[in-house]
Amino acid sequence: MYKKEEFYQNLITKLLNNSCTVGADYYRPQWHVSAPTGLLNDPNGLIHHKGNYHLFYQWNPLSCRHGMKVWGHMTSNDLVSWNHYFPALIPEEEYESHGCYSGSAIVVNDQVTLFYTGNVKFKGGRTSYQCLATLKDDGDVQKLGPVISAPNGYTGHVRDPKVWLHEGYFYVVLGAQDIYKQGKVIWYRSNDLTNWQFLGELAGSGHNGFGKFGYMWECPDLFNLEGKDILLFCPQGLEKENEHFANLFQAGYVIGALNYHTKSYQHGAFQEFDLGFDFYAPQTMEDEYGRRILIGWMGLPDENESYHPTIKNGWVHQMTCPRVLTLKNNKLYQQPVKELEVLRKNETKIISIANDIPSLQLRCAEMIVEGGINCQINLSDIVLIHVDNTEVTLKRKNWRTNLWESRSWQGSIEILQILLDHSSIELFINNGEAVMSSRFFSPCNESFYITFEGSEVIHLTYWELSY
């Protein structure tokens, strides 16, 4: 638990001392969202209100380790340029003594209301409270305190509220772990955001064809898209199955139909959201144009995290680019928002056998590859993209072990879109049918280059990306 004045003094000191090293870091993203210092993780409270996009996020500004979390706060009117604000929520009350954990936002009476988890640890255990706060026009936040306590039958791991309005009632889903250490999503209903009725388990291990499916489900998000009710969540504890569930923790979704009257949710199979190395805790919002937009954390709390080379310069992690979701063939497609095209500079088109394409000196770029895509794209011998008629394989050198590791997607390949930003790659396959997101760290004392290998003709279009 922080004392507010002391926290702000420490934060300002950290920002002043770290600003030069963070800003000059070779790996610092040019156009992706990252924190000004410290550790960034889950996106929170995504909302579009009065022409501005609000992005809150889990933030430890005083360290590059997980621990006491506040809510960072940024806004943008175009999803490209972002303005930083002082933290929206800091843990200064007993009901949030060990962190203001993830949550969401909703507009009520033309005011943004925040719904978050107050994390409380004590000797031998922990508990949680789901809390409300309101965002004022000047950026200040007024806390309203807890409105939901930990329910019976569950451990202290109940968190990450995502709230929405349906036919005059507010609903919220929460990630949970029951007393048998099984992952669940539970939900509540309210007519005033303050008094909540427990509706039971919406989904989880033992429901709808799932057997044991992880010991904890985090970061749920439920929304309707094109007539389907889609539940996003992050199950922890899945065993690897061939090329599936290759990361330590997963992020994915199910598609189904939610019956508000019978309080039941029938859904299909779990589908992974992103097949790269670094993707977790996605959250979505609907903007004022009716688009369903997703932002995820391009990171994972895993064994590689403490080896990020950026830590020595006082920062770690970034977000994905904002992505528009559409539903096609019972699958969510993800595509970068159109607003990012303003970053494109110096368009170049090449039609050539891959082997004959000259080496490209690009660290911050967008590339589109079409044609007979049987080739390998080499990013400075630190990332390899191998494409044939039936599979895309993404390889990178692990910065902890320096060994090659790989992820793959099977299917027919028609077009690849690649977004690069100094130390990240987002690979969109077939206009978003599949996505692979990853961080990488090339040696900063060597030139960065991109080469193509293969005997077939490809169509390459690329742009430098910059403000």
Distance CA 203, CA 229 (A): 13
List C-alpha distances in Å: 452 to 236, 321, 360, 366, 376: 37, 25, 9, 15, 6
Distance CA 149, CA 131 (A): 9
Pairing state of beta strands 38-49 and 315-316? parallel
Residue identified by tokens 């027919």 is: 412
Minimal CA–CA distance to 305: which of 251, 253, 252, 249? 249
Residue identified by tokens 């690329």 is: 462
Distance CA 201, CA 280 (A): 23
419, two tokens: 């977004």
Q: Is 467 exposed, middle or buried (0-12, 13-18, 19+ CB in 10 A)?
A: exposed
Q: Is 42 a catalytic residue?
A: yes
359, two tokens: 């080496």
Phi, psi of 215 (to 5 degrees): -90, -10
Query: Do 83 and 330 contact (CB within 8 A), yes or no?
Result: no
Which residues contact residue 358 at a Cβ distance below 8 angstroms, ignoring those fewer than 6 apart? none
Please tell me which residue in 25, 42, 160, 229 is annotated as part of the active site.
Answer: 42
Q: Is the dihedral of CA 434, 437, 443, 449 positive or negative?
A: positive
28, two tokens: 């610092």
Catalytic residues: 42
